[in-house]
Chains A and B, each alone.
Chain A
Amino acid sequence: MTDHPIRILLAKIGLDGHDRGVKVLARSFRDAGFDVIYTGLWQTAQSTMLAAMQEDIDVVGVSLLSAAHLTVMPEVLRHRKELGIENVPVVLGGIVPEDEHHLLYEMGCAAVFNPGASVEGIVEKFKVLAADRKRLSLSEAIAGYESKNNAALGQLITYIQRDQVDGKWTPPAGSAKVFGITGAPGVGKSSLIGKLGKAMCEKGFKVAVVAVDPSSPVHGGALLGDRLRMMWGEPGDNFFIRSLSSGKEYGGLGPHCADVIRALDGYGFDYILVESVGAGQSDVAIRDVVDKTLLVLMPESGDSVQFSKAGIMEIADMFIINKCDLPGADATEGQLKSAVGTGRPICRVSTVRSEGIEAAADLLLN
C-alpha cells in the first residue's frame, strides 16, 4: 500500500472563513505526496463525512477557528458513525482552548492541533493514522458492494484503482449511460457537473461522477479540486462523487478509470459523468471509456481557428458553452456553429446563475 498516495480530506465546516491555515496544509500535504481533497468553505458535518465515505479517505482533517468545535465535532463524529466509516480517523486543528482538548479526544477525535503546530509534525501524524487505519478487506468490500453499501463501494474503488482486485472479481453488467465531460481547465466542467447532477437527481436518477485531476509531476501528490465545485446541499445516496488523480503515465485519465466506471455501472447508477483534465490531444482517450463526449467551452476561449485545431472538436458529440453570464457568448456560439456545422447540439448555460441547466440536463437524459 505504501507506494499509493494517502488520501486525505481537509474540511472547513460552518460559516468560518479562515482558510489560510487549511490552504497551507493542503499544499504541504500535496507536496508530501498525499492526494488531498479540500472541500472548500461553508460545508456541513454531513457533507464532509459523506465525502470521506465516497472518496475512501484515510484521514479527515477539520479546520475550525470559529470556536464552534464543541458543536461541530460531535456532529462530525455522529455522521461518521451513521455512515459506517468509524475506521476513518478525524483530526481537528485551529483555535481550540487547551482545557477543551480532553473533551475532543474523549468524543473520538484522533488528534488536535493548535496555532504554532509545525506542518511537518502534522504530516507525520497523518501518516501514522493512515497506516493504522483498518480498511475493509477486498472480499468484505466486494460483499458490501453487492449488498449496496456505499462505504464498501468507496473502498472497493480504491482496490480497483490500485489494481489490487487481481482478476478475482468483475462487476456485474449495468445499464448506465456514461458521459465524458471535457474542456480546458477553468471552463467550469466541475461546476456544471454539480448542477447537472443535481438536476438529474431531482428527476429521480442515480448519478455517479468520476473526476480526474492531474497529479503534481514533482511530488506525486495531487490537490483534487473538482469535488469542491460539484457539491451542493445534502445530496444523500443518489449522488456519488469520486475524485481520482491522473497518475503519471495515463495522460488525461487516471489508472483503471475504465474499471472504476464499470464498477459504478454495475452498482446501479443510471448516469455516470466523467470529468477529465484539459482538452488537449491526449483527451481523445476519453472516447474509449464513455458513450458520449461533451465538450465544455466558455466565451472568448478561442477563435474558430483554434477550435478546429483541437482534436477533441472532432470527437465531441455535443457542446456546452458555459459562463454565458460573461460577455462574448454570442460571438463564441457563432464561431462554434461555423466550426462544427450542424448535427451536433450546442447548448448555452451559466452555472453561476443556474441558467440553461435544465436544457443541458435534457440533452443528456434523452
Chain B
Amino acid sequence: MATKPISDPQAAPVANDKPFYGPQDVAGIDYARDLANPGEFPFTRGIHPEMYRKRTWTMRQFAGFGSAEDTNERFKYLLGQGQTGLSTAFDLPTLMGRDSDDPLSLGEVGKCGVAVSSLDDMRRLFDGIALDQVSTSMTINAPAAILLAFYIAVAEEKSVGPDKLRGTLQNDILKEFHAQNEYVFPPRPSVKLVTDTIEYGTHHMPQWNTVSISGYHIREAGASAAQELAFTLADGMSYVEHALERGLDIDEFSKRLSFFFDVHNDFFEEIAKIRAARRIWAKVMRDKYGAKLERNWWMRCHAQTAGVTLTEQQPTNNVVRVAYQALAAVLAGVQSLHTNSMDETLALPTENAVKLALRTQQIIACETNVTSVADPLGGSWFIENKTNEMEAEANEIFREIDDLGGVIGAIEHGYFRRSIADSAIKQSLAFDSGEAEVVGVNKYVEKDYERIDVLKIGADVEKQQVARLQQLKRDRDAKRHQQSLEALRKAAADDANVMPFLIDAAKADATVGEMMEVMASVFGRYDGGPEW
C-alpha cells in the first residue's frame, strides 16, 4: 500500500488506493447537472468562463509586524513588487481585543503582527496609501467590527466613503471557536456581531466582503480535507441563516460572503476539495436559500498554502512545497492566493523570503501557461471521482452537525474541537511512525543543513507603542470619549446594530480594549467550551 501523505489523517478511503481510475469511476456523473462549463451552475469548474485568461488571481501576501509604521513600509514594498492587494496581520493583543498597554499584552506587542489599538494606529498603518485604489483584507475576528470602524473612519479622513472601499474583513467568528481560539464573547452574541457587520456592509459597503468564511485555520489546527470543507461550508450556512433571521434579503447580502481555504500537500485532493466547495455552495444558495442572482451562487475564495506542512529543517525545501501547493490552488481556480515564505517555522517572514514567495506565484502566472484554460483537470476520472467523494463526505458531516443542533449546538458540544484534535493526533502518530514521510525531517535527514536569516522584532516596538497609546488616552476629549462608550453600551444592551456606535467611538479615540470591554459587559466573556 502506498504511503499516505501527512495531509491525509483520515486514512484515505479504499478507493484512493486504486492504481488508476477509469470511466466506471465517473459513471453517475451528468455533465450538465454536476459539472457544466466554467461559469455555469453548479460552477464545479469555476465561477468564470474565462478564468485567468481575463484576469489572474489577486496575489495577496499576509503582512504585519511591529509598529504601524513598520507594516506601512512593508505594504508599500509589496505594492512596489507588483502585489495587487493588501492583507493585514494583527498582533495577538489586537486579535484578542486588548490594548497594547494591557498587562496581558506584555511581550506580545507587534510580535506576531501589527499593533493597532486606536484610530491613530490605523491612520499610520495606511498612511500614503489610497484606500479607493487598493483592496485591503484584514485578518481579525472577535474585534473585527471595531477594526472595520477604524478603517471606515480613516477612509473618511481621506474623503473616501465606505461605498468606495474594497476589501475583506475576516470576521469569521465561528472558526475561532473550532480552531483559532480568538473568541472573546460567547458564540451567540459573537454571531450577532458578525450579523451586524453583514447588515452594515450590505447597506453601506457594496464592494466590501463582510465575512471571509475560513477553512484555513480549521485545517491548520489539524482537520482533514473533508472536515475543512464541511465545517467551513456549515459555518457559511450558519451566517446566511442568521442574516436571514435579521430580515436581510438573500440576494443583497450573500454576494459579499467570501471563502478562504487551505491548500495542503495532497495535490489532487486539494483541487477536488475546492471544486466540491463550489458545487455544494451553488446548490445550497440556489436551492436551499433561494438566491436568485447567479453571482450569489458563486463560492469565491482566497487560498493560502499550508503553513503546517513547512519544516524548520532544510528550510529552502519549503519553496518547493509552496510552489506545488500554489499550483494546486491555481488549477482549482481560486480568486486570490497567499504563498507562505520559506522561513515559516522560524518567525514572521523576512523581506527576501516574502519576495521569493510572491515570485513563486508570479512565475506560475507568467511562465507556466496554466492560466490559458479554465479547469484544465475537469473531466479527469480521478479528479471527478475525488470531487464526488469530497462532496459525499461533506454531506455526511453536515448531517452530524445538524444532529447536534446546528453549528452553535455542535460548538457547545465540543464536536468541532474534538474532531479536529482527533485528526491532528492521527497525523502526529503517522509522522512519528514514519508512515507519513517528510523530507528533511524523518526522511533524507541532514544534520548540518544550511540555515537562513530570521526576522527579529525588537522590544522597543512595545515600549514605543505603549507610550504613544498612553499619550493618546491622556490627550483625547474625555467627555466625548465617555459618551461614545456609553452610547455603545446602550446599543449593545438594546440589541441594536452596534456598527454606527463603533464608528463614533473610533472617532472619539476609544481604543480596541475599551470597546471590547464595554461589549463584554453586555455580552459576557466565553471561557472556552470543551477542550477536547
Contact = CB atoms under 8 A, between A and B. Distances in A.
Interface SS majority for chain B: loop
Interface string B430-473: 01100000100110000000010010110100000000000000
B426 to A, nearest CB: 10
A186 B530 contact: yes
Contacts of B311: 115-116
Interface residues of A, number: 38
A41 B181 contact: yes
A95 interface: yes
Interface residues of B, number: 47
A268 interface: no
A353 B98 contact: no
Nearest to A38: B531
Interface string B17-32: 0000000000000000
A17 B180 contact: yes
Given A17-B180, A17-B182, A40-B528, A66 B111 contact: yes
Contact of A23 (B93, B106, B345, B532): B532
Nearest to A355: B524
B92 A20 contact: no
Interface in A107-132: 114-116, 118-120
B531 A71 contact: no
B451 A15 contact: no
A15 B108 contact: yes
Contact of A95 (B345, B424, B457): B345
A66 B108 contact: yes
B378 interface: no
A68 B111 contact: yes
A20 B424 contact: yes
Contacts of A150: none
Given A15-B98, A72-B107, A67 B531 contact: no
B457 A67 contact: yes
Interface in B397-455: 421, 424-425, 428, 431-432, 438, 441-442, 451, 454
* Residue among A14, A19, A67, A115 having the largest count of chain B Cβ atoms under 10 Å: A67
Nearest to A185: B530
A15 B105 contact: yes
A14 B109 CA distance: 11
Given A24-B425, A27-B421, 18 more contacts: A14-B108, A15-B108, A17-B181, A17-B182, A20-B220, A20-B221, A20-B222, A23-B531, A24-B424, A40-B528, A41-B181, A66-B92, A67-B112, A97-B347, A120-B432, A229-B527, A352-B186, A352-B527
Interface of A: 14-17, 19-20, 23-24, 27-28, 38, 40-42, 66-68, 70-72, 95, 97-99, 114-116, 118-120, 186, 191, 223, 225, 228-229, 352-353
Q: Which 7 A-B pairs have the closest CB atoms?
A: A71-B107, A17-B181, A15-B92, A68-B107, A67-B111, A24-B428, A115-B345
